[in-house]
Structure 1
Amino acid sequence: MISFLKIKQKKMEVLSKGNKGKTIIILTGLGCSFDEWYIITKTLSKTSRVVIVHRPGLGESEIGSDVRNTGAVVKELLDLISVLEITEPIVLVGHSYGGLCVQHFAKSYPKMVAGMVLVDSTSVDLHELDELDLPILDETDSDEVWLEKCISYSSMKQEQLRILLNPTLSEKQKSFPKEIRQRLLDFQIRPSLYKAMYLEISNWKQDAEIIKSLETTLNVPLIVLGRDVEFCIKLGLQGGLPEEELRILEEKWKELISRQGNLSSNSKIVFAKNSSHSTHMDRPDIIIHSISEVLN
């Protein structure tokens, strides 16, 4: 069920499913819709209460004029927990940028967290990716390129974005219910999405340093999920990218994922076979299994 809650004086779009068992809160990646998690939330809601939100600017959540960084997400999460009257520690799941937000929350409020699953999460050492020598990959995928794109897209009208981006669904998403398919298509053509992405990317290196400075070692169950190096290299090669650069990037990413195991004294690292960065779409089964393991 989708509802609109007043969080930090802004309207936020919240999807809640299930009403028994422990509460799982999922934070999506940069520019990602909560509807991409349809299979995962549907399965988990049979035994747990699942809550997944659109951060300000995503979906129908109001963006406002506040700073958009992981610190703001931590405050919104605290407010959400209060509004939903959740009193027990929660299981936190974060994909990509959402994983960076989860790390910030868990290190700030360790007693409120019962367990964590990080899904190919952005690392607190993400600055190390900039130090790699990747001239061809950087032409299309550097922070600077993304910031420029986001500025351009955020100034366009929805109809312009529809023509330019021509949003499509993956084969798996085509099997989702009709209303969800439509929401996934509409999600990508809102100018506010790109404003939010611009602000989040602008601040994430500074956020990472703040998170690193929080000297908290957790001892809750933590499963760190990473993508499949060879699978990602193969995808990149199909897109005409150079193998040497792809390998340098993927090996560094794998190293950064592995380091996330140090967040908790009770951690496990799993690399999901046949998974790209979008693990939640490629391997929902492994995420469901990991969350279930943490719950138990």
Structure 2
Amino acid sequence: MVLVFSSGSVEVKFLLNALLVPIAVGLSIFGIAAATAQSAATGDFNGRVDVGGRKIHLECEGAGAPAVILISGYRNNAEIWTVEPGPGLTPVFAAVAQFTRVCAYDRPGTILDADHLSRSDRVPMPRTAEAIAAELHATLDSAGIKGPYVLAAHSLGGLFARLYAATYPDEVAGQVLVDAWQEDLEAVLGPAQWAAYVDLATPAPPRLDGYADLELVDFEAASARMREALKSAPLRPMPLYVISRGKPVQLPPGPPTAFSPDAFEAAWREGQRRLAALRPDARHLIAAQSDHYIQIEQPVLVVDAIRAVVDAARDPASWTRKHQLQPAKTAGGSPVPSANVAPADPGSGEFTGLIDVGGGRKMYLECRGAGSPTVVLVAGLKAFAGDWNSAGGTAPTVFSGVANVTRVCAYDRPGTPVGELPSRSDPVRQPTTAADAVADLHALLGAAREPAPYVLVGHSYGGLIAKLYARTYPRDAAGLVLVDALTEGLQEAETPEQWATQRVLMEGDIRESLALYPALERIDPDRSFDQVRAAPPLSPLPLIVLSADRPWGPQIPALIADGTLPADVPADFGYITDAAQKKAQDRLAALVPGAKHITNTNSGHEIHKEQPGLVTDAIIDVVDAVRAGKTSLAQ
């Protein structure tokens, strides 16, 4: 099958074969001036270094430490890192050279295409993974390139990088694994699928049948050696960034009939999960717009990952803080897993990590459980995904309770703080609207390959988002649970003067927080309400509305007295809010026929925390109705 990349007027076509080996036609390569000096420690270098009587081709650019060593995948030479990507994009090699020293090399028998063969001296084939790691060590030593290094490796090169780190642990400061090989692939695939895969991966690519020096590695032996190394020398603490493809790999024509692409993709995703679990603080990113060659299709993602690991090698604290700014005031604050840990792939199994949603942005997502429909939890204003993993007492949280019944996902909107840290999702310009949040959520679920239909569960402002999502994408939304949700009915139940006060109270005094965290989530409720009003009517679907029954009226005077609320808030404003909120919640429950309205919640605004079992039961009722094919709870 042919992949086409447009690069100005140059069209780059890759025929995929073996372990996803590119055979390129019409490539545009960023050239590097040839060097005659043996040392590649400084300056631009493009030449061959002696490694005990034979020569290895090496090229280096840039300045600074740690040096980044780019390790190509199976049968790929160094040129795979300098292929010109799409318009406006810089190859990984050239981009990394802008902020540190970077080197790439040709293993013997590696290629870019039939016209770009390895520039290193030939060796007998097949090769072992140990020999390849030792060869790289000898090359760097002979060239005078000082460690410790950041190893950035693609495909089978990831196994070579990890074996290098296990063999020479003091020489590695961090790793970036780009859709890398994981040593348990054979066991996960099973004997029949593994045999079919080997049949697919072993033959020489087209036009290279006569290239006797073509790289050949015993996958089974290499994987076994990696497992042994992992047992004797587990990966020591270091920044680890795993980037995994978001699209299925495109296979060469005529794969063996016994080969199952679906089984291969599932096994590969499991391998990515295991790679990301090598370190508890690893970062895992899904490159939603790429298949195997992420460094060509989305080079910016690879460069950003390398930069993050280089920064962490220079300043270890940067790996854990992610951003320098910290908000003074936050919503929620319960402990959550690390923002960067990704123990599985999106779309199935457990997942915690960042998803590329396009436009250069990434969003944080966590999912657990199995089954359909998928429940999507949408938190309130300035609240992050962990808001659904918090509960009073010892009761199971909503997230964990729902995960026992079906698949459930929660996410961070941009600007939603995590305890005293900023949001794990990339920032956007604030304030935003409900329509902005709906577009982000739709992009996130699509990029993460979380299949519809969804039961959308929204608390407070999240309820407004969930409702607008269901009206915008009716085919995706099969059910709704609205937990003391914000609604345009609140504005309509108050006078303009009352609503002006309500708006101030909704946002709160965030001046101190904004000074420390300018990207803090803020919303334009008036525009958001207008967006909801302009949306198509809600289609019939199972709907449960849960409303708080603890009144605000008696609480407001004390809140004014202790300074929590401004002194100019009317003392009776709580009673005004209670009356308006009752009307608004009643209107929510009348949106579709057969909706259920739970008003005896024995709870304040945060019902999902005070009464998580009540919210979980409501979600399960809607899930059951969807599974039964109902469009109304009254059916």
Q: What TM-score bracket applies, with the shorter chain setting the length?
A: 0.7 to 0.9
After TM superposition, the structure 1 stretch with the greater mean CA deviation from structure 2, 278-287 or 31-40, is 31-40
Tell me the number of residue pairs that the alignment of Structure 1 and Structure 2 aligns: 252
Tell me the equivalent position of 1:71: 435
Tell me the equivalent position of 1:227: 548
Kindly state the Cα deviation for residue 46 of structure 1 after the two structures are TM-superposed: 1.2
Kindly state the Cα deviation for residue 238 of structure 1 after the two structures are TM-superposed: 5.5
Of residues 571, 581, 585 in structure 2, which corresponds to 1:253? 581
Tell me the equivalent position of 1:197: 521
CA distance in 2, matches of 1:21, 1:145: 39
Please give the per-residue CA displacement for 1:2-47, whole angstroms capped at 9, x wherever unaligned: 2111124312111211133420001100011321211111111012
SS in 2 for 1:289: helix
Please give the per-residue CA displacement for 1:85-121, whole angstroms capped at 9, x wherever unaligned: 2333110001111111111111111111110000101
AA matched with 1:121 = A
* Counterpart check, 1:286 vs 2:614: yes
User: Does the 8 A contact of 2:494 with 2:580 survive in 1?
Assistant: no
Residue 272 to residue 240, structure 1, CA distance change in 2 (3 Å)? farther
| Higher helix residue share | 1
Tell me the equivalent position of 2:370: 19
Tell me the equivalent position of 2:405: 47
Tell me the equivalent position of 2:513: 153
Kindly state the Cα deviation for residue 250 of structure 1 after the two structures are TM-superposed: 0.7
Kindly state the Cα deviation for residue 210 of structure 1 after the two structures are TM-superposed: 1.8
Residue 206 to residue 240, structure 1, CA distance change in 2 (3 Å)? closer
Tell me the equivalent position of 2:490: 126
SS in 1 for 2:509: helix
SS in 2 for 1:249: helix
Residue 145 to residue 281, structure 1, CA distance change in 2 (3 Å)? closer
CA distance in 2, matches of 1:99, 1:229: 19
Q: Could you say which structure has the greater relative contact order, defined with CA pairs below 8 angstroms and 6 or more residues apart?
A: 1
Unaligned runs of 5+ in 2: 1-350, 390-396, 417-422, 562-569, 625-635
Kindly state the Cα deviation for residue 237 of structure 1 after the two structures are TM-superposed: 6.0
User: Does the 8 A contact of 1:90 with 1:112 survive in 2?
Assistant: yes
CA distance in 2, matches of 1:101, 1:131: 24
User: Does the 8 A contact of 1:95 with 1:120 survive in 2?
Assistant: yes
User: Does the 8 A contact of 1:218 with 1:263 survive in 2?
Assistant: no
CA distance in 2, matches of 1:146, 1:216: 26
User: Does the 8 A contact of 2:357 with 2:363 survive in 1?
Assistant: yes
Residue 37 to residue 272, structure 1, CA distance change in 2 (3 Å)? farther
Kindly state the Cα deviation for residue 80 of structure 1 after the two structures are TM-superposed: 1.7
Kindly state the Cα deviation for residue 212 of structure 1 after the two structures are TM-superposed: 1.1
Tell me the equivalent position of 1:144: 504
CA distance in 2, matches of 1:218, 1:79: 22
SS in 2 for 1:3: strand
Residue 150 to residue 30, structure 1, CA distance change in 2 (3 Å)? same
Residue 289 to residue 243, structure 1, CA distance change in 2 (3 Å)? farther
User: Does the 8 A contact of 1:219 with 1:266 survive in 2?
Assistant: no
Kindly state the Cα deviation for residue 132 of structure 1 after the two structures are TM-superposed: 7.4
* Counterpart check, 1:217 vs 2:507: no
SS in 1 for 2:543: strand
User: Does the 8 A contact of 1:23 with 1:50 survive in 2?
Assistant: yes
AA matched with 1:221 = P
User: Does the 8 A contact of 1:92 with 1:115 survive in 2?
Assistant: yes
State the percentage of identical aligned residues: 23
AA matched with 1:261 = A
Tell me the equivalent position of 2:212: none
Residue 146 to residue 268, structure 1, CA distance change in 2 (3 Å)? closer
CA distance in 2, matches of 1:85, 1:213: 29
SS in 1 for 2:583: helix
SS in 2 for 1:26: strand
* Superposition map of 1:27-42 within 5 A: 27-38=378-389, 39-42=397-400
Tell me the equivalent position of 1:170: none
User: Does the 8 A contact of 1:100 with 1:121 survive in 2?
Assistant: yes
Kindly state the Cα deviation for residue 130 of structure 1 after the two structures are TM-superposed: 5.2
**TM-score of the aligned structures, taking structure 2 as reference length:** 0.37
CA distance in 2, matches of 1:293, 1:228: 21
Please give the per-residue CA displacement for 1:228-252, whole angstroms capped at 9, x wherever unaligned: 044x445446546787432221121
Tell me the equivalent position of 1:270: 598
**TM-score of the aligned structures, taking structure 1 as reference length:** 0.76
Residue 265 to residue 146, structure 1, CA distance change in 2 (3 Å)? closer
Please give the per-residue CA displacement for 1:168-219, whole angstroms capped at 9, x wherever unaligned: xxxxxxxxxxxxxxxxxxxxxxx25xx4433x1xx22111112112231321
* Counterpart check, 1:5 vs 2:351: no
CA distance in 1, matches of 2:614, 2:433: 29
SS in 2 for 1:285: helix
